[in-house]
């Protein structure tokens, strides 16, 4: 396996132009963010923020300042509502398990959608072992939840509803405000959680206006470092820790806070929200140019998810018929274009994305899908290069398929 990987990497030698579009799975961290982080490894704030000495006080101060800034960017009220976690997976687990297993919770029903991120699906499934019953709301062919079905499903026995603000695969922007109103009208005590990691930095996000109780966000999805995320917990809401250990400055997540990563997350947030409207306008323009260019140059292409303003501005997910997605990602990689195929979190499994299946895509369509995400670092020249390479890659894959008689 290692030798095969070495050969694949070596095959990329000589590529003069590269465009990284696999920003669902990981991102390149801009140098200005790395430079912001470096001093906190060995010059300042490298101490344990709970200890009474200068490096500890410096760490404590920067963590509190960061929490205040992240709270502002999320539309939260106070920095104490922000808990830093190692990522959005941990934030989702903390939100859902922390609420469900709370001593104060006596209800055993949870409601999610059928296209939630795997961290939400899996932790909900795990809670069934503890006697919880999980209901999944269906979605339409663009990935929108059925609000009438939500109204029918939620009752006074439901302790938690978890619906992502933006779907991470197909970019569907859910009507979260309306969903919260439905849930709270039925039972004001039902807690509402949203995975907002694909909304933060792409659309306007204000947790107070949405009236959600819990919201998870991620650093790497806004070009920050991996290994850091955050959970918003509305003031007054009490949930349980799901891990035990040394308690630092945060009561919900034990252990020593990773100050450099928190600094990087905060810097990425600041850069994201500077001239936010102009950045989103540019990202949307590049995404639309990419979409229109592919549809003009490649036959038999389907758009996965909504095709209007209810789609996240960075997201392009398409199915290319008669072209297996995994083969296409490899062919594009050899041309310096890096994308992902199918579900980002299950790409090594021989099964189609649960999201694409839920919106009615056939097996072949789901396996022929590729996901591309535009960021604020991309330029027109990047899109032009991708539009040169995609038709060539598709023609090569389809030519191989045709020559083998397999379709």
The CATH number of the domain holding residue 84 is 3.40.640.10
Active site residue 323: no
Distance CA(52)–CA(47), nearest Å, equals 10
> Are residues 14 and 152 located together in one domain of the fold?
no
At residue 8, the pLDDT reads 81
At residue 73, the pLDDT reads 98
> Are residues 245 and 280 located together in one domain of the fold?
no
> Are residues 59 and 95 located together in one domain of the fold?
yes
Number of domains in the chain: 2
Distance CA(147)–CA(176), nearest Å, equals 10
> Are residues 74 and 172 located together in one domain of the fold?
yes
> Are residues 262 and 322 located together in one domain of the fold?
no
Domain end call among 245, 273, 301? 273
Domain end call among 273, 296, 326? 273
Residue environment code for 34-57, b if the CB has 16+ CB neighbours within 10 A, otherwise e: eebbeebeeeebebbbeeeeebbe
At residue 364, the pLDDT reads 87
Domain end call among 249, 273, 297? 273
> Are residues 138 and 59 located together in one domain of the fold?
yes
> Are residues 43 and 116 located together in one domain of the fold?
yes
Distance CA(125)–CA(66), nearest Å, equals 34
In the set 170, 242, 345, 356, the catalytic residue is 345
> Are residues 280 and 149 located together in one domain of the fold?
no
Distance CA(149)–CA(17), nearest Å, equals 48
Domain range for 237 is 38-273
> Are residues 52 and 139 located together in one domain of the fold?
yes
> Are residues 303 and 384 located together in one domain of the fold?
yes
> Are residues 259 and 377 located together in one domain of the fold?
no
Instruction: Tell me if 313 sits within 8 A of 203, measured CB to CB.
Output: yes
Instruction: Tell me if 166 sits within 8 A of 202, measured CB to CB.
Output: yes
At residue 401, the pLDDT reads 60
At residue 350, the pLDDT reads 59
Angle at 161 between CA 178 and CA 268, to 5 degrees: 80
Q: Mean pLDDT in each 10-residue stretch from start to end of the chain (407 residues)?
A: 75 91 96 98 94 94 98 96 98 98 94 98 96 97 97 97 98 98 97 98 97 98 98 96 90 95 98 98 98 98 94 98 93 97 56 92 91 98 98 94 48
> Are residues 210 and 253 located together in one domain of the fold?
yes
């Amino acid at each position: 396996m290692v030798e095969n990987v070495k050969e694949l990497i070596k095959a990329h030698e000589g590529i003069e132009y590269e465009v990284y579009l696999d920003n669902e799975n990981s991102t390149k961290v801009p140098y200005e963010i790395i430079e912001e982080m470096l001093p906190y490894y060995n010059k300042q704030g490298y101490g344990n923020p709970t200890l009474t000495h200068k490096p500890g006080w410096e760490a404590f101060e920067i963590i509190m300042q960061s929490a205040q800034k992240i709270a502002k960017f999320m539309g939260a009220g106070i920095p104490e509502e922000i808990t830093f976690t190692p990522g959005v997976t941990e934030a989702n687990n903390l939100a859902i398990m922390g609420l469900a297993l709370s001593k104060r919770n006596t209800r055993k029903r949870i409601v999610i959608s059928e296209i939630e991120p795997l961290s939400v699906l899996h932790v909900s499934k795990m809670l069934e072992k503890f006697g919880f019953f999980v209901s999944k709301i269906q979605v339409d062919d663009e990935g929108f939840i059925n609000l009438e079905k939500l109204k029918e499903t939620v009752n006074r026995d439901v302790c938690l509803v978890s619906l992502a603000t933006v779907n991470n695969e197909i970019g569907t922007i859910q009507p979260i405000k309306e969903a919260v109103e439905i849930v709270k009208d039925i039972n004001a005590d039902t807690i509402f959680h949203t995975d907002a990691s694909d909304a933060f930095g792409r659309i306007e996000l204000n947790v107070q206006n949405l009236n959600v109780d819990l919201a998870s966000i991620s650093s790497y999805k806004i070009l920050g470092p991996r290994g850091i995320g955050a959970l918003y917990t509305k003031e007054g809401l009490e949930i349980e820790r799901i891990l035990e250990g040394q308690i630092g400055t945060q009561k919900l997540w034990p252990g020593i806070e990773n100050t450099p990563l928190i600094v990087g997350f905060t810097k990425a947030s600041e850069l994201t929200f500077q001239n936010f409207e102009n950045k989103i306008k540019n990202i949307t323009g590049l995404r639309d140019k990419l979409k229109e260019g592919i549809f003009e140059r490649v036959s038999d292409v389907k758009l996965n998810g909504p095709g209007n303003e209810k789609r996240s501005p960075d997201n392009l997910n398409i199915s290319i018929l008669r072209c297996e997605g995994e083969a296409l990602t490899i062919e594009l990689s050899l041309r310096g274009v890096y994308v992902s195929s199918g579900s980002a979190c299950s790409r090594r499994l021989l099964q189609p994305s649960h999201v694409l299946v839920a919106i009615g895509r056939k097996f072949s369509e789901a396996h022929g899908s590729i996901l591309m995400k535009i960021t604020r670092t991309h330029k027109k020249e990047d899109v032009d290069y991708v539009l040169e390479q995609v038709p060539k890659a598709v023609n090569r894959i389809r030519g191989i398929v045709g020559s083998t008689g397999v379709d």
